[in-house]
Amino acid sequence: MSDASTSPALGRIADLVKSNEVVLFMKGTPLFPQCGFSSRAIAILERLGVQYETVDVLQDPEIRQGIKEYSDWPTVPQLYVKGEFVGGSDIMMEMFESGELQQLVGERA
């Protein structure tokens, strides 16, 4: 049970999302992703050639739970660009293939 409005994890997530232009919540690290979906998300970010931050949810149970509530999204990875939720790895791939993701990260905030 958690009250979304008072959960400290949600506040920490909001800070991470606001203070990093491109941030990926993932399982594992860019070098050692612990899940195929996270691995795919990293591969896309590498292809984009942008600077990005990552948060390993496996290292932080509070964030691991909180990130599901933050954007009402049940899975990890989750990508945020300029404070906005973009999607999981499937949406990242679709947007990468259509060129939308390049446009999104390329535009200066």
Q: Are 92 and 79 spatial neighbours (Cβ–Cβ below 8 Å)? A: yes
Q: Are 49 and 21 spatial neighbours (Cβ–Cβ below 8 Å)? A: no
* 68 counts as binding other proteins under rule CB under 8 A: yes
User: How big is the chain by its Cα radius of gyration, in Å?
Assistant: 13
Contact region for other proteins (CB under 8 A) — 1-9, 16-24, 51-59, 81-89?
Answer: 81-89
* 66 counts as binding other proteins under rule CB under 8 A: no
CA torsion 71→77→82→86, rounded to 10°?
-70
Cα separation, 87 vs 19, in Å, equals 18
* 87 counts as binding other proteins under rule CB under 8 A: yes
* 1 counts as binding other proteins under rule CB under 8 A: no
Q: Which positions from 19 to 58 touch other proteins by CB under 8 A, shown as an x/- string?
A: -----------------xx---------------------
Interface with other proteins (CB under 8 A): 36-37, 68, 71-75, 85-88, 90-91, 94-95, 98, 100
